[in-house]
Structure 1
Amino acid sequence: MVFPLYKGYYEEVYNNLYALACYFDNSEDKWVRNHFYERCFNIAKLIKADGGKKEAEAQAHMGLLFEEEGELLEAAQHYEAFHELTQGRIWKNETGQFLNLLACESLVRTYKLLSDRMLENKEYKQAIKILIKASEIAKEGSDRNMEGEAALCLGSAHLAAGEYETALRVLRRYSEIATSMGDDLNLGRAYEAIAKVLQSQGKMTEAIGYLEKAVKIARNNFQSLDVIRACTMLGDIYNEKGQYSEASEYFQQAFSASVELMKMALMDETKVHYGIARAHQMMLTMTDYIETADIDSLNCLLSWKESRTQIKYDPILGKSRRATEDDIYQYPETQEESRRTDYFLTMVSASELEKVEGCFKTNR
């Protein structure tokens, strides 16, 4: 499009159109803002005296326009042009930010969004390809935080694709970046991501070590969401290993952290995990009492049925031991937590107790 009436005044026209776009930059008038952004874009391509700075800015505005509309491929094309025009330049915007750094940030952000869509569609190779480009752009921007986040996304994509060794290499690079910056929050998240890879490889002991460090870092920095994620992962691992006491301990920590946040969805999820782990923990001893099938065991089970206290498991005596009333004790937890555990045990335990009680009556 040619603007003969504006010839010689393109830069002034651009500035006025941009001022109008800024004036209408609000949620209700975005369509007006976008109209002026498009006008700026058309005018900027005619400005030659500034070496392409106005065109670079206009490419950034058009990229934002398409990004907000969810048209990420078009947004990426404009951000790529923005990035290309600013390479090797020390241009700054009106707030003093370097345009090349803004171009890198915009391009990395858009590549991440595109990769998320690809991963949802299980297009792993395409996602990894575009995230490698994002990592390269992030390094160019000389922003270590952006470089670390790009490494996290790339490592997670390799994990989703089942490329575990590559994922570990990339994620360890992420942890190195966080360590060099003294960034505990990203270091904890790096440990969590590495643990996920190790868990997928079946290396549970190593995964536990990384997760324990992640929990410690998260607690020290008051990051409750990170505590919940890491503790839940630890609980899942111990639950799979049949170590229900440890699983119960970590699920309880996750539940307590969710209570501090007062997020009902998280509270509901974590208390279910915690209740199941407690039920598993108690069921070991319950099964032992039932299989022992003597008077003392029956009395102990009936006592538990009446009081709904926790049963202490004795892994050394196992089936050969004889239960006594001293084997039952109350955990120092809230009444509400006890009721949650009871819910998981009542249906199974009550029916089993009735069977055992019936057998004893028959034998007598």
Structure 2
Amino acid sequence: RNSYKKNICIDMLRQGYHESFSELFTLIQKWNALREAAGPGSAIWQQKSLEEQPDKLDQLYHFLTRAEAAQRAGHYEEVYDNQLNLAYCFNDPEDKWLSNYFYEQCFSTAQLIKIDGGKREAQAHANMGLINEEQGHVMKAAEHYEAFYQLTEGSTWKDETGHTYNSLACEHLWRIYTLLADKMLENKEHQQAIKTLIKALKMAKEG
């Protein structure tokens, strides 16, 4: 039943990709643990296991081994790009945990890149901000967005839609500060809420 997974694992080991092998193994175990924890009747329970989805195994094999080869050569920007490709690959709702896992990997790798002026680090902060915001960790998200803003100040970096990173940072901060202010008002922290709303307004004007 798992012969495809077995072949991929043997292939990785044959070619000396030991880290990729153990990472793939860990992810399969993590998937099974998530499924067990969710129990019968849950959405994840109805799905095929990761090891029974050859297309996903192919993507993991392809990008994990490329990332490992780049890491050996000390090309951390390539490691990052391969990890980011994996985060993008798993964009189905049921694969969210997998996507988030690779965004977190990107964040760690980005700290090691010294040749792109902080562009990938900025991008990684933006992605971690979005993950934290989605999970309801508003303060943590704000910290990531603030770092994203600081790293993009004065830069001309743009995303694929042509928006500058800095205008995106302003947008994220405007949104997160407004959310924070709402929470402060709920907790009757009026002074703090006003200060935070002023920060939100500043970002809205700047963006």
Q: Do the structures match in fold with TM over 0.5?
A: yes
Aligned position for 2:186: 120
Q: Deviations over 1:144-197 (max 9, x none)?
A: xxxxxxxxxxxxxxxxxxxxxxxxxxxxxxxxxxxxxxxxxxxxxxxxxxxxxx
What is the identity, as a one-letter code, of the residue corresponding to 2:93? Answer: S
Change (3 A) 1:6 1:38: farther
Amino acid at match of 1:35: Y
For 1:74 and 1:26, the matched residues in 2 are separated by 25
CA distance in 2 between counterparts of 1:106 and 1:31 reads: 22
Q: Quick one: structure 1 residues 7 and 109, their matched pair in 2 at CA, closer, same or farther if it must change by over 3 Å?
A: farther
3-state SS of 2:93 partner:
coil
Letter in 2 for 1:102: L
Larger Rg: 1
Contact 2:71–2:79 (Cα < 8 Å) also in 1 = no
SS of the equivalent of 1:70 reads coil
Residues 6 and 13, structure 1, Cα contact 8 Å, conserved in 2: no
Distance across 2 between alignment mates of 1:128 and 1:26: 39
Identity %: 59
Give the structure 2 partner of residue 33 of structure 1: 99
- SS of the residue 1:8 aligns to: coil
Structure 1, unmatched stretches of 5+, are: 142-364
Q: CA RMSD in A?
A: 1.6
> Structure 1 residues 55, 7: closer, same or farther in 2, change over 3 A?
farther
1:119 Cα deviation after fit:
1.0
Whether 1:23 and 2:89 are equivalent positions in the alignment is: yes
Is the Cα contact below 8 Å between 1:14 and 1:44 reproduced in 2?
Answer: yes
Superposition pairs of residues 63-102 of structure 1, within 5 angstroms: 63-102=129-168
Q: C-alpha distance in 1, partners of 2:130/2:87? A: 13
Question: Counterparts of 1:1-364 in structure 2 under 5 Å?
Answer: 5-141=71-207
One-letter amino acid of the structure 2 residue matched with residue 38 of structure 1: E
Secondary structure class of the residue paired with 2:201: helix
Using the TM superposition, give the Cα deviation of residue 13 of structure 1 relative to its aligned residue in structure 2, in angstroms: 1.1
Q: Unaligned regions of 5+ residues in structure 2, if any?
A: 1-67
Deviation readout 1:13-45 (Å, 9 max, x if unpaired): 111110110111232111111100000001111
Deviation at 1:7, TM superposition (A): 4.8
Alignment: residue pair count:
139
Query: SS at 1:90's partner residue?
Result: coil
Using CA pairs under 8 Å that are at least 6 residues apart, name the structure with larger relative contact order, 1 or 2: 2
Aligned to 1:305: none
Deviations 1:227-249 (CA, angstroms, capped at 9, x unpaired): xxxxxxxxxxxxxxxxxxxxxxx
Corresponding position of 1:214: none
TM-score of the pair, normalised by structure 2: 0.64
Distance in 1, Cα, partners of 2:200 & 2:72: 39
Q: Note closer, same or farther for the CA distance 1:76–1:7 as it changes in structure 2 (3 Å cut).
A: farther
What's the TM-score, normalizing by structure 1? 0.37
